[in-house]
Amino acid sequence: MRIVSGKHKGIRINAPKKLPARPTTDMAKEALFNILNNSYYFDEITVLDLFSGIGSISIEFASRGTKEVTSVDVHKKTTHFLNEISDKYDLNLNVINGDVYRFLEKNTKQYDVIFADPPYDFSQEKFEKIIDLVFEKKAITKRGMLIVEHSKKTNLSNNKYFVKEKKYGGNCFSFFEIKNEIG
């Protein structure tokens, strides 16, 4: 995994091979951050990274100077690894070892950007539950964005908060926002 931009640009981070993670490819990550760069000043936002794995997305946000990054993953080995990287490179990461659904149920904070990268083999219902919890629990700011990474086989466009989908190789990003209701 390579840090694409920011104060740690170009640094390669090698995670142990036995960790249960599928990092976002550099090409997809770079494309995603180009989109985000047009919407946000990174030093002014808060980010929640769900199913963070080894932290590819969290690290990228932190390298770009994001005010606050919270990373949540259920696997102790991946959160331990991410904590080590955060300490080594003095990144501003709040790493939480825990179940994403329980975290969302109990969470009381709002974030400007929420990124979720669940396992690609998740059922449609599990993907939908993530989206629904984020908006039901008001975890996202009024001008915030939820981005869900998934395979081409998953279609999330029927969700009422869906805005757009972008495809990069085998990766898809679906974007969700609170839509201004006129009436």
Q: Please enumerate in sequence order all residues whose Cβ is within 8 A of that of 140, keeping only pairs 6 or more positions apart, or say none.
A: 110, 111, 112, 114, 134, 146, 178
Residue 179's nearest CA partner among 137, 131, 142, 124 is 142
Please answer whether residues 47 and 113 qualify as being in contact, where contact means their C-beta atoms are separated by less than 8 angstroms. Answer: yes
Superfamily (CATH H level) for 43-176: Vaccinia Virus protein VP39 (3.40.50.150)
Percent of the chain with pLDDT over 90: 69
Cross-strand bridge partners of residue 162: 176
Full-model pTM = 0.93
CB environment 73-108: b (16+ within 10 A), e (fewer): bbbebbbebbbebbeebebebebbbeebeebbeebe
Q: Where are the beta strands (DSSP E) in 107-177?
A: 111-116, 140-150, 162-168, 171-176
Q: Please enumerate in sequence order all residues whose Cβ is within 8 A of that of 125, keeping only pairs 6 or more positions apart, or say none.
A: none
Q: How high is the mean pLDDT of the chain?
A: 90
Confidence of residue 183 (pLDDT cuts 50, 70, 90): very low
pLDDT digits (tens, 9 = 90+) for 30-43: 889 999 999 999 99
- Listed by start position, the domains of the chain span 43-176
Average pLDDT over residues 93-99: 97
Q: What is the pLDDT of residue 5?
A: 84
Q: What is the pLDDT of residue 180?
A: 60
